[in-house]
């Protein structure tokens, strides 16, 4: 009996070894520990200003027999209650990369929603309502993306499609249900990098992006006009950035059409953001940014067609990077936030350690 056990165990061990050797991929675990101190306006209840971020990322990669490569990423929720986002991709070399993204937002127009250089965070970081930008399609869960890039010049074309806007993550073997965007609502976006060159002492990027959503509840089809879309929402942006030595600068304007009927107040938004950053010895960096977001209101909600409100953003960032340890800070302010008459400030110091 003992001999039979030994033979069985030996055979099983040999089988496991052969299966392991046949697998080309590998899985690694990384993460970030961050400690923050946040200071808000004097009229806001801050409570405990100290906070902690606890992220784990599982990354896998491998290579097919024909030379193509693949990768997967799963990110754990900060509360360790499950996965917050996930993606998988196949790099086909000169044929481009195809990917499925479930919440990372690292593909499509969302990847170029704001390319203005910063030392750390963007000028609208820390506010409940930020600058109007693109990326609504490629930010949703369940996006299929195809990107192809040219060598040297960095010219790239990226196309994204979401079969259900506003969808949550869908498990394997399951389907997504109806969303607030309406059953059947879908969208697509694209960005085009005409140039994207980035070397140690020189960089130049020029391009644009656009997105459009198709909704299934047009106002013409419903009696309740307060719960419909008067047209297909769309947005477009252009961007340019330049790096010469340690100095980088960028500018990006965006236009976004109104999404629903007159009861939603905003007819359209026009925004722009600009900034400059300075890098010292690759360890210390500073940046300043400013932005403006124009809210064009309709007559039903604000008492007169053509009424315009401007939101203004300003922000400073700084960072000291020492390998896996970094100390960063940001000080941002906004006037007329979300097209209203209020202002806000956000000040934060962040100590992060990656592994």
**Token code pair at residue 12:** 């099983």
pLDDT at 5 (0 to 100): 39
Q: Return the H-helix or E-strand segment holding 232.
A: none
Asked whether residue 5 is assigned to any structural domain, the reply reads no
Question: Which residues constitute the domain of residue 300?
Answer: 27-171+182-354
- Nearest-angstrom CA–CA distance, 270 and 256: 7
pTM above 0.75, yes or no: yes
| Least trusted range by pLDDT, from 184-193, 200-209, 325-334 | 184-193
| Stretch 99-116: mean pLDDT | 94
CATH number at residue 74: 2.40.160.10
More confident call, 275 vs 77: 275
Return the DSSP state at 140: S
| Stretch 98-107: mean pLDDT | 93
The pLDDT tens digits of the residues spanning 194-215 come to 999 999 899 999 999 999 988 7
On the 0-12 / 13-18 / 19+ scale of CB atoms within 10 A, 253 is middle
pLDDT at 1 (0 to 100): 44
| Stretch 51-57: mean pLDDT | 85
The pLDDT tens digits of the residues spanning 234-281 come to 999 999 999 999 999 999 999 998 655 455 567 889 999 999 999 998
**Token code pair at residue 318:** 């700084």
Our count of domains for the chain comes to 1
2: confidence class by pLDDT, cuts 50, 70, 90? very low
pLDDT at 3 (0 to 100): 43
Asked whether residue 13 is assigned to any structural domain, the reply reads no
- Nearest-angstrom CA–CA distance, 345 and 343: 7
Asked whether residue 228 is assigned to any structural domain, the reply reads yes
């Amino acid at each position: 009996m003992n001999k039979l056990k030994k033979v069985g165990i030996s055979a099983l061990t040999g089988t496991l070894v052969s299966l392991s050797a046949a697998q080309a991929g590998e899985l690694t675990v990384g993460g970030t520990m961050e400690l923050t101190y946040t200071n808000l306006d004097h009229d806001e209840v801050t409570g405990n200003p100290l906070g902690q971020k606890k992220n784990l990322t599982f990354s896998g990669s491998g290579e097919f027999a024909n030379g193509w490569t693949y990768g997967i990423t799963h990110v754990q929720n900060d509360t360790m209650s499950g996965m917050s986002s996930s993606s998988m991709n196949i790099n086909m070399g000169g044929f481009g990369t195809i990917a499925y993204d479930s919440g990372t937002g690292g593909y499509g127009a969302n990847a170029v929603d704001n390319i203005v250089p910063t030392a750390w965070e963007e000028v609208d970081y820390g506010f409940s309502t930020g600058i109007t930008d693109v990326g609504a399609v490629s930010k949703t869960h369940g996006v299929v993306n195809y990107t192809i890039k040219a060598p040297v010049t960095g010219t790239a074309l990226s196309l994204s499609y979401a079969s259900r806007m506003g969808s949550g993550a869908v498990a394997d073997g399951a389907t997504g249900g109806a969303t607030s965007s309406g059953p059947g609502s879908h969208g697509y976006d694209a960005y085009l990098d005409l140039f994207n060159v980035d070397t140690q002492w020189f960089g130049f990027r020029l391009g644009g992006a656009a997105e459009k959503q198709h909704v299934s509840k047009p106002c013409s089809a419903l009696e309740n006009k307060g719960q419909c879309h008067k047209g297909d929402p769309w947005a477009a942006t252009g961007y340019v950035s330049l790096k010469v030595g340690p100095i980088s600068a960028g500018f990006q304007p965006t236009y976004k059409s109104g999404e629903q009927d007159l009861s939603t107040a905003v007819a359209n938004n026009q925004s722009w953001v600009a900034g400059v950053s300075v890098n010292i010895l690759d360890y210390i960096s500073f940046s300043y940014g400013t932005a403006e977001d124009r809210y064009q209101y309709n007559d039903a909600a604000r008492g007169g067609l053509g009424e315009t409100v401007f939101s203004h953003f300003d922000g400073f960032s700084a960072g000291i990077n020492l390998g896996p340890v970094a100390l960063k800070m940001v000080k941002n302010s906004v006037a007329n936030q979300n097209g209203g008459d209020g202002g806000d400030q956000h000040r934060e110091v962040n100590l992060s350690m990656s592994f």
